[in-house]
Structure 1
Amino acid sequence: MTFVLKIESGIQRAVYLPKNDRNMTFPMPRKMLPFILLGFGFVLIVISIYFILRNQVPQTDLSTVPVKVNVPAPELTLTDIEGVSHALADYRGQVVLVNLWATWCPPCKEEMPTLQAFYDKYKGSGFVIIAINDGESKADVLQFVKDYELTFPVWLDPTYIATEQAFNTLNLPTSFVIDQDGTVRLTWVGGINFRMLEKHVAPLIVE
Structure 2
Amino acid sequence: MNKKKRRLLIRTIILIVLASAVIYTLYANFTKGERGTLEKGDQAPDFVLTDMNGDTHRLSDYKGEGVFLNFWGTWCKPCEKEMPYMENQSQKFKDQGVNVIAVNVGESDFQINKFIEEHQLTFPVVVDKEKDVQNAYGIKPLPTTFLINPEGEITKIITGSMSEKDIEQFMESIKP
Normalised to the residue count of structure 2, the TM-score between the two structures is: 0.74
Deviation at 1:197, TM superposition (A): 2.4
Matches within 5 A, 1:1-207: 69-159=40-130, 161-205=131-175, 207=176
Deviation at 1:203, TM superposition (A): 3.1
One-letter amino acid of the structure 2 residue matched with residue 116 of structure 1: E
One-letter amino acid of the structure 2 residue matched with residue 143 of structure 1: K
- Aligned-residue Cα RMSD (Å) equals 1.3
Unaligned runs of 5+ in 1: 1-67
Larger strand fraction of residues: 1
Structure with higher Rg: it is 1
Instruction: Give CA deviations for 1:75-105 in whole Å, capped at 9, x if unaligned.
Output: 2111111122221111111100000000000
Normalised to the residue count of structure 1, the TM-score between the two structures is: 0.64
Q: Percent identity?
A: 34
Preserved CA contact (<8 Å) 1:75 1:166? no
Instruction: Give CA deviations for 1:116-157 in whole Å, capped at 9, x if unaligned.
Output: 111111111001100000110011101100000000011011
Name the SS of the counterpart of 1:201 in structure 2. Answer: helix
Instruction: Give CA deviations for 1:28-71 in whole Å, capped at 9, x if unaligned.
Output: xxxxxxxxxxxxxxxxxxxxxxxxxxxxxxxxxxxxxxxx8111
Relative contact order: is structure 1 or structure 2 higher (C-alpha 8 Å, sep ≥ 6)?
A: 2
Unaligned runs of 5+ in 2: 1-38
One-letter amino acid of the structure 1 residue matched with residue 62 of structure 2: Y
